[in-house]
Amino acid sequence: MSAAAPAPPSLARIFTAFLVMGATSLGGGVVAYLRAGLVVRQRWVDDRTFVELLAISQTLPGLNATNMAILVGDRLRGTAGALVALLGMCLPGASLMTGAAFVYGVGGDDAPSRAFLHAVAAGAVGLTLFVLVQLGAKTLSVAADYVFVALTAAAVAGFGVPVPVALIGVGALAIWWHRPRGGGGAAP
Amino acid sequence: MKQLGDLALVFAYLSLLTIGGGMAAFPAMKELTVDVHHWLTFPELLHFYSLGQLAPGPNMMMVAAVGAWVAGPLGALVVLVAFLLPTGLLTFAVGRAWTRLASWRWRPAIQHGLGAVAVGLVLAGAIILARGALTGPLPVALAGGVFALLMFTRINPAIPVVACGLAGLAAFMTG
């Protein structure tokens, strides 16, 4: 039984599954929703594959959720699978935000809306700080990492250094700091 | 037409900066959409970003709102394609080549090094966001409250963020 690979799901099922994840993953933390949907509910990937694909998604530019949709969709049904997974993932949030822009255009500028939105923005600062702490706990392991974080933030937010310059400059320094050492048994 | 082209260029460029998550692109997004192209004001961008935190799905779908604000539904579509296509193609290609890249000896160094820079970019984004949003005692208290609540409980983040909005509205009505 376990020797025969199960037939890959249809494109419609892939689209629907990602549409549901795209519509229900409220309040950030989309990775947890992805795992619940892909590993637990659909059993399309196992936990090991999930973590590996997540590592690719986080290393490459692009949103984690859309990168995951592309990688899992491609594994299930090739190029078309990647496309429908991406579409399903983005459709609910993107249409809501497009609608929000119109509603904002109609009533966003009166005083009560501004009071509401400005307070939501304050809450979003708290949420962003929380994401920052989570991301930091996962990513930063040695004291030098904190120096790279401070350098990047000070350059971009403090001195107006263009982001690509900071990214390439501090990035090259950080990659060099973590460079592979003593590989191949030829340690000095 | 020129505006749609500019939107596509700006958001294709921004997509390349989204390392470690969409938030890393926020500092450059503020600079390009507000300071360079004057497509919207900083408070407007702040509001869209904040509403984006309440929308389901990937965290930067607020780019669709910016596109729609500037150029209508077509603008939203152009921005989305520009924001998703370049990095999407890259991910697609790397995903297929991964078996070879997984054992590349520089890979952990790149992942670790860029990870630290990505956290720095998120910090820069938080600082820029805070400059615009934390304009008095109430916003500071709300931001601190949300942060503490998320650190010490497992509550869905959308709940305290909406609660902030209601608190702001209540303060406006009574104040």
Model confidence over B110-121: pLDDT tens digits?
888 888 888 898
What pLDDT sits at residue A177? 95
What pLDDT sits at residue A188? 39
What pLDDT sits at residue A2? 45
What pLDDT sits at residue A187? 37
Contact flag A63-B60 (C-beta cutoff 8 Å): yes
Model confidence over A111-148: pLDDT tens digits?
898 899 899 999 989 988 988 888 788 789 899 999 99
What pLDDT sits at residue A35? 84
Residue A128 tokens, joined:
């962003």
Q: Residue ranges of the alpha helices (H) in chain A? A: 11-24, 30-35, 47-59, 64-107, 111-139, 143-153, 163-177
Which pLDDT band, with edges at 50, 70 and 90, does A99 fall under? very high
How far is B131 from A122, CA to CA, in rounded Å? 10
B53 touching chain A per CB within 8 A: yes
Model confidence over A20-65: pLDDT tens digits?
999 988 755 677 788 888 988 899 998 888 878 887 887 788 998 9
Q: Which of residues 36-75 of A touch B (CB under 8 A)?
A: 52-53, 55-67, 70-71, 74-75
Q: Where are the domains of chain B?
A: 2-133
B36 touching chain A per CB within 8 A: no
What pLDDT sits at residue B121? 87
Which pLDDT band, with edges at 50, 70 and 90, does A186 fall under? very low
Residues from chain B that touch A139, judged by Cβ atoms under 8 A, are: 20, 112, 115-116, 118-119
What single-letter amino acid sits at B49?
Y
Q: What is the mean pLDDT of each run of 10 residues along chain B (175 residues)?
A: 92 90 89 96 92 87 96 96 96 87 83 86 89 94 96 87 93 90
Contact flag A27-B147 (C-beta cutoff 8 Å): no
What pLDDT sits at residue B72? 95
DSSP letters spanning B107-138: HHHHHHHHHHHHHHHHHHHHHHHHHHH--SHH
Contact flag B121-A166 (C-beta cutoff 8 Å): yes
Model confidence over A100-115: pLDDT tens digits?
999 988 877 788 988 9
Residues from chain A that touch B121, judged by Cβ atoms under 8 A, are: 152-153, 156, 163, 166-167
Residue A169 tokens, joined:
């400059």
With a CB cutoff of 8 Å and minimum separation 6, the contacts of A39 are A45, A46, A47, A50
Phi, psi (deg, nearest 5) at residue A182? 60, 25
A126 touching chain B per CB within 8 A: yes
